[in-house]
Structure 1
Amino acid sequence: MRRMAPTVLIVLLLGLLAGCGPESEQAPLDGGGTGGGGNAADVAFAQAMIPHHEQSIELAELVPQRRTSDYVRELAAEITRKETAEIERMAQWLRAWGAAVPSAADHAGHAMPGMLAPGAIPALQAAPDDAFEQRWLRTLATHLGHGIDMAEKLLAQGSHPGTRTLAENIVNAQQAEVATINDRLAAARG
């Protein structure tokens, strides 16, 4: 499998975030049977969203060992199920396009766009049981908000039909989930 140099990945991510890039980067890539070709924005999105989803799953994995509500347990299970499937779909697209599939190890120890601050998960792990659920929900809402931003940027630049559909689904589902989380947090304060 061909791997992209870290500098190329950074340039692609910056182009995606800035909404710009050389015209040659917008040329379609081979769709590999995934519903048409994609462009550099589609590649950069998948390469950034995979670690973002891996971080969502990392957050979800904190829940079973804590005393939480049914809502939080069900949400964590749903995140793990849904985002694991989405990671595999994005990895298939990247392989079809001849692009590198990122791993969690590729991003360990440094921040990248869309990810939580480096100390956020350790702080959550250290939270006492009576504060864990509220902190987990706030952390998750922040993380989902980053995912919404990433997906909206893809919608402005991407060309691959599958990637665009995934981004639309992320925006719709995560906006609804953030609204539900915010309602629950407000009710707990009230």
Structure 2
Amino acid sequence: MVLAVVALLLTGCATTATPTYNAADVMFLQMLIPQNEQGIEIVKLASARPVQAELKELAAAIEVTQKTEVEDMRRWLREWNQPETVSPQAHAGHGGMKMTSPDLVGALRTAPDGEFTRKFLDVLTGQQQGAVELAQTENGTGGGVNAQARDLARRVIESRTAEVKQLLNVKA
């Protein structure tokens, strides 16, 4: 009898425990992974182009940061037994994916060297602002509960906002 009561109490405690993640956390990671991957694709374009050294350094730093974030996010989703990707339409009700238009990325890829820096600044600024908007959903009302995902969102907001300020101060 005592064992049955202890078992019921333990079971009850387990069901009232705070979850380690929720659907908002999963959605945030599923949306930020492709957003980061596209950002990596964009910043890599600067490495082979004649742009200012400070812009090349910023692009390289963004690439390293976002690759690390993607690795972390993929690991968390695996640990939670959640899929890494879902169809973009699955998140349409949440504001949709915060991705840069493939046409803009394509135009940047083929831009003449003389136009590249200005277009790069415009495309990357929009890309980084999209990441900030996405991260705000994680930490906003009804957002995620996972401490790591919420911390990542905070860091994304801070770093991408600072990067946008840097980008706006680069002379094309």
Shorter chain as denominator, the TM-score bin is 0.7 to 0.9
Which one has a larger percent helix, Structure 1 or Structure 2?
Answer: 2
Separation of aligned partners in 2, 1:49 and 1:178: 17
| Two-structure CA RMSD over aligned residues (Å) | 2.0
Q: Does 1:123 align with 2:107?
A: yes
Q: Which one-letter code corresponds to 2:121 in the other structure?
A: L
Correspondence for 2:133? 149
1:137 aligns with 2:121: yes
In the other structure, the counterpart of 1:65 is 48
Aligned residues: 148
How far has the Cα of 1:28 moved from its partner? 6.1
Instruction: Look up the match of 1:101.
Output: 84
Out of 155, 160, 169, the residue aligned to residue 183 of structure 1 is 169
Q: For 2:85 and 2:33, how far apart are their aligned partners in 1?
A: 7
Give the conservation status (yes or no) of the 8 Å contact 1:28–1:39: no
| 1:134–1:153 CA distance, 2 compared to 1 (3 A) | same
Where does the alignment leave 5 or more consecutive residues of structure 2 unmatched?
Answer: 1-16
Find the aligned partners of 2:98 and 2:119 in 1 and give their Cα distance. 19
TM-score computed with the length of structure 1 as normaliser: 0.73
Distance 1:58 1:28, change over 3 A: farther
Residue 134 of structure 1 deviates from its aligned partner by: 1.4
Which stretches of structure 1, 4 residues or more, deviate above 3 A after TM superposition? none
Give % identity.
Answer: 32
Larger Rg: 2
Partners of 2:58 and 2:160 lie apart in 1 by 12
